[in-house]
Amino acid sequence: MYPRRRFTIALPGGRALELGSRTLVMGVINVTPDSFSDGGVLADPARAIGAGVQMVADGADLLDVGGESTRPGAQALDTAEERRRVLPVIEGLAREVSVPISVDTYKAAIARAALDAGASLVNDISGLRYEPDLAGIVAKHRAPIILMHTRGRSKDMYKQAVYSEVVDEVLDDLRESIAFAGNAGIGKDSVLVDPGLGFAKEPTHNYELLGRMGEFGDLGRPLVVGPSRKGFLTKPLAKELPASERDWPTAAAVTAVVLAGAHIVRVHAVREMIPVVRVADEIRKYHREH
């Protein structure tokens, strides 16, 4: 088990995100017709807003709204369509819930519109490598950003899943993203990091990252981890499971990352994962260094 530093992350509007005393749960709202996790059941804005309200009632500390599928093999989405999908949901949620809302996008134009519509932070799967202009938008709005690790694009990411030492290389890539953010005017205190489980990584890479997740504390930034319903979770099992049946394996991975010091876990099944996180947090209280 690894220690977990405490952070205060300033949000637009004078609010702040307190991290470290307990693990926060981020509920995932995929407003895409081809979502890997739920088959697009939240593509309707009203249904997506209702789902977000329910996630908050179930205990979610943050919500993450994404309009472009970034599953392996997915094609890029044009900006106009992504805007059409996410803005009504973010606007609706901003009226209905008090928890911070994150927009899951790598596009500068979408981030700008989402932050203006009520989002409080940006979750960039590319770590500022797809659209560097995104950094300027985030800096201007004084919003936090989650820098996730990946390589390549969704349609060919597995071609990039070649590592000599996966943990060291992911750490190095994230350090580069942090440096780029700083050079673009984003204060280090506004940066969170995500090792990008399932993105440009084979199953063995993901399990090594899970087993050594505590080493990401060396980056000195809050750690966000999203193992939820990822395909690699079925590797140790006797059979493949559809995404909707991967919540038990997800619970094991969530427990592991909480014990390793994650500050935020990103999950699809909030109601089911809240007890998992709370028990893992309780275990953390009684750990003693030897």
Q: Which residues are catalytic?
A: 230, 266
96 close to 52: Cβ distance less than 8 angstroms: yes
195 close to 170: Cβ distance less than 8 angstroms: yes
- pTM score of the predicted model: 0.95
Is the pLDDT reported for residue 240 higher than 80? Answer: yes
Cβ-defined contacts of 39-42 (< 8 Å, 24+): 39/244
Looking at domain 19-285, which of 2.60.120.10, 3.40.50.300, 2.30.40.10, 3.20.20.20 is its CATH number?
A: 3.20.20.20
Whole-number pLDDT of residue 210: 98
User: For the chain, which residues make up each domain, given as ranges?
Assistant: 19-285
1 close to 259: Cβ distance less than 8 angstroms: yes
Torsion, Cα of 34, 35, 39, 43 (10° steps): -80
Per-residue pLDDT of 52-96, as tens digits, reads 999 999 999 999 999 997 766 667 789 999 999 999 999 999 999
Per-residue pLDDT of 65-75, as tens digits, reads 999 977 666 67
Q: Is 75 exposed, middle or buried (0-12, 13-18, 19+ CB in 10 A)?
A: exposed
Per-residue pLDDT of 150-159, as tens digits, reads 998 877 777 8
**Rounded distance, CA 49 to CA 153, Å?**
29
Amino acid at 117: A
Handedness of CA 255, 256, 261, 265 (dihedral sign): negative
